[in-house]
């Protein structure tokens, strides 16, 4: 569901002239924690939420302000029907890393689960500003656009997906359906 690309590389020194780490350096986790983060995503996808929470807590012990981990913990809490805590963690994660497509995507998933589709679309659009070619975010966005009957947005999103993956037949079919819906 949520693909993690940035945290997999080892984050080393590289402090700027002011001694502060850049947002990109803050986002990167060392090897062990990056592996734990990938496990959180797998636990979420396989609905092993309690294991996901434990893995998130392990990362947050060492890196309490890691935005993407905070967001994933919030998403996991949401699946355990702890909505208030979930929103708190996701907002905290987003505040710690506004330039993370993962945080924005998770925030959109949270809104989508609460049937706040317009807010979810806004979050997905913010995520796409940061990672323009993320297939999963584009798919999620296209589903909400058709749900909300935003047909012109649906056509554009399906065009982007077709451009990125022209070999997939489903992208051609969805693109054709999108054009049929707008009477092209």
* pLDDT higher than 70, residue 15: no
Rounded to whole angstroms, the Cα distance separating 99 from 82 reads: 26
What proportion of the chain, given as a percentage, has pLDDT over 90? 79
pLDDT at 184: 79
CA dihedral sign, ordered 10, 12, 15, 21: positive
> Mean pLDDT, the chain, as a whole number?
87
pLDDT at 9: 37
| pLDDT tier for residue 87 given thresholds of 50, 70 and 90 | very high
pLDDT at 183: 87
pLDDT at 14: 42
pLDDT tens digits, 101-150: 999 999 999 999 999 999 999 999 999 999 999 999 999 999 999 999 99
* pLDDT higher than 50, residue 98: yes
């Amino acid at each position: 569901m949520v693909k993690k690309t940035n945290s997999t590389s080892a984050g080393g020194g590289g402090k700027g002239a002011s001694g502060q780490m850049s947002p990109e350096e803050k986002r990167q986790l060392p090897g062990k924690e990056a592996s734990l983060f990938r496990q959180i995503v797998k636990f979420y996808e396989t609905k092993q939420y309690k294991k996901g929470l434990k893995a998130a807590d392990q990362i947050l012990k060492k890196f309490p302000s890691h935005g993407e981990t905070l967001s994933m913990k919030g998403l996991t809490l949401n699946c355990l029907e702890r909505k208030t805590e979930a929103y708190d963690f996701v907002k905290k994660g987003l505040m710690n890393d506004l330039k993370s497509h993962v945080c924005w995507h998770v925030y959109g998933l949270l809104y989508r689960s609460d049937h706040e589709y317009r807010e979810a679309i806004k979050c997905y659009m913010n995520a796409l500003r940061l990672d323009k070619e993320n297939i999963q975010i584009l798919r999620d966005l296209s589903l909400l656009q058709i749900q909300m009957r935003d047909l012109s947005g649906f056509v554009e999103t399906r065009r982007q997906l077709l451009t990125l993956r022209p070999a997939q037949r489903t992208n051609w079919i969805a693109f054709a359906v999108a054009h049929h819906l707008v009477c092209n």
